[in-house]
Amino acid sequence: MKRRHFLKGATSVGALALGASAGLLPARARAQASTQTLITNVRVFDGKSDALTEATSVLIEGNKIKSIAPNLDAPADAARIDGGGRVLMPGLTDLHTHLVWNVGPAALLGGRPDYLAALALQEAEATLMRGYTSIRDTGGGIQGVAQAIDEGHFPGPRIQSSHAAITMTAGHGDFRNRNVMVRAFGGPTETELQRMGFVFHADGVPEMLSASRENMRQGANFLKVFVGGAVSGIYDPLDIAEYSPEEIAAAAGEAKRWNTYLAVHTYTDFATKTALEQGAMSIEHGNLMSEATMELLVQKGAWLSTQTGVFLTPLPDGFSDAQRARAKQAADGLDQMMTLAKQYGAKIALGSDMVGSPEVKIQQTSEFTARTNWFSKLEILKQTTSQNGALWAMSGPRNPYGDTPIGVIEPDAYADLLIMEGNPLEDTSVLTRPETNLSVIMKDGQIYKNTL
């Protein structure tokens, strides 16, 4: 059923690309082997401009956009799509995901690695079919899944990954049973979750450096550290600061030496301020930060990587009263944070942070409606396209997709695009019904869905 989307798209436009022996070729090689694709009669939102273009054409060559202009010509053997006056926009991006977290905590802790990878591949396809052509994974061993997708074996989005999120003992990523002692007290040197790259436990500067370097050795594109309490944590209440300034600085310094950056999970003002002072460049959540800290974030040129839907959609059934109270505190902080972020002109990215079953993950698109509490439709669309694309580029030489832009419709950008029913500049909720509203999904010049 799901596989059919992939084949349908491939046969409608990329028939040449998916020849008898092409199945195992890397996606990029297949795209480059294909002819040009000419899309006509579309009104383009380019990810940056304030309005749609008049009806125009977009020419794709290989895996990149070649040109955008009315009345473009293409060779006779080029594939053609008549957009019928519909809106064309860059593929969606989500910069806070956990692609391997598709089951509850117990199933995750005891899950077989190949089972969890299989579910991740299924979720990767579902993500792409919701219109997301690039995601940033902020914790979880996903390098092998990303490799399989990049090589063209399975449909899915581009993935940048932090590999394991780094946690202190009793921090947000400490999922150990209370009776499992820490290493210093004779506990195991590594847990199953560490082996699979979900979390690395690190206490003290030397361990923080080792965990950071091990992540880079495993192919991380940036680093992610839990520096503050959490809504759903086992041992860590929301109000605590995790890690000393020296430990955070160690991770930030290591990221810098690898010419990439440190992203941190944090809610409270104190933890957020400390992380910024020590060099963190991507604040994940940040809901409870003060005006002074927002000013510091802007001064440092750091990103505010925000989520809204996860706080405004129903909480998981298993949440305790304490977790519900923390979730409310985090949700209540959104108003002030977003207001300050707009006031100070902070660089705002968009992410979803949905964790759990496919029924939960489908709420990834709730960002497009929940955000209307604070942002115009245009602002939301820029966040999920060009703004996320700018944060995506911050991993520099560690970006596995090179310096080719994403999140924009412009010459030499990756050919990652959507054609849809409805106009998201007038109603962003069209993006919450991808099955009916997305007519074309193209990633890397390859068509994964085409109902036109």
CA separation (Å) from 311 to 183, 306, 381, 434? 35, 11, 20, 22
According to CB under 5 A, which residues from 186 to 245 bind Zn ion? none
Cβ closest to Zn ion, residue 37 vs residue 306? 306
How far apart are alpha carbons 243 and 421 in whole angstroms? 48
Number of residues that bind Zn ion (CB under 5 A): 1
With a CB cutoff of 8 Å and minimum separation 6, the contacts of 448 are 5, 6, 9, 10, 128, 129, 155, 441, 442
Angle at 190 between CA 189 and CA 192, to 5 degrees: 155
Task: Please tell me the distance from the alpha carbon of residue 406 to that of residue 389, in angstroms, as a whole number.
Answer: 5
Q: Return d(Cα 303, Cα 360) in angstroms, integer.
A: 26
At residue 307, what are phi and psi to the nearest 5 degrees? -130, 145
**Residue 150 binds Zn ion, judged by CB under 5 A:** no
Q: Pick left, alpha or beta for residue 41 (phi over 0 → left; psi -120 to 50 → alpha; otherwise beta).
A: left
Strands 56-61 and 64-69: antiparallel
Provide the mask over 57-86, with x wherever binding to Zn ion is found by CB under 5 A and - wherever it is not.
------------------------------
Can you name the residues that pair with 223 across neighbouring β-strands?
262
CB of 272: closest distance to Zn ion in angstroms? 15
| Residue (234 or 378) nearer to Zn ion, CB | 234
Smallest gap from residue 349 Cβ to Zn ion (A): 13
Minimum distance from residue 323 beta carbon to Zn ion (Å): 15
Reference 238, options 283, 287, 276, 275; nearest CA is 287
User: Closest approach of Cβ 292 to Zn ion, in Å?
Assistant: 25
Restricting to residues 79-138, which ones interact with Zn ion according to CB under 5 A? none
Residue with tokens 């860590």: 236
Distance CA 95, CA 350 (A): 6
- CB-closest chain residue to Zn ion: 353
Binding mask 327-366 for Zn ion (x = CB under 5 A): --------------------------x-------------
Alpha helices in 218-320 (DSSP H): 245-257, 269-277, 291-300, 309-312
- Return the number of the residue (61 or 353) whose C-beta is nearest Zn ion: 353
By beta-carbon proximity to Zn ion, the closer residue of 46 and 353 is 353
Report the alpha-carbon distance of residue 228 to residue 209 in Å, rounded: 19
Nearer to Zn ion, 150 or 353 (CB): 353
Q: Compose the 430-449 pattern: x for residues touching Zn ion by CB under 5 A, - for all others.
A: --------------------
If the CB atoms of residues 6 and 261 are measured against Zn ion, the closer one turns out to be 261
Whole-angstrom distance, CA of residue 23 vs CA of residue 10: 11
Considering beta carbons, is residue 37 or 364 the nearer one to Zn ion?
A: 364
Supply the minimum distance, in Å, between the C-beta of residue 305 and Zn ion.
10
Least distance (Å) between residue 158 CB and Zn ion: 19
Closest distance between Zn ion and the C-beta of residue 185, in Å?
29
Residues 6+ apart with CB under 8 A from 254: 208, 209, 212, 213, 216, 223
Residue closer to Zn ion by CB (options 352, 384) is 352
Element (H, E) at 213: helix 205-217
Let me know: does 133 contact 150? Beta carbons within 8 Å: no
- Residue 355 Cβ vs Zn ion, minimum distance, rounded to whole Å: 7
Closer to Zn ion by Cβ: residue 199 or 441: 199
Which of 105/204 has CB closer to Zn ion?
105
Which of 310, 417 has the CB closer to Zn ion? 310
CB 411 within 8 A of CB 404: no
Task: Pick the closer one to Zn ion by CB: 60 or 116.
Answer: 116
Enter the tokens of residue 220. 């991380």
- Give the 3-state secondary structure percentages of the chain, helix then strand then coil, rounded to 5: 40, 20, 40
Residue 138 Cβ, how far from Zn ion at the closest point, in Å? 5
Residues that bind Zn ion (CB under 5 A): 353
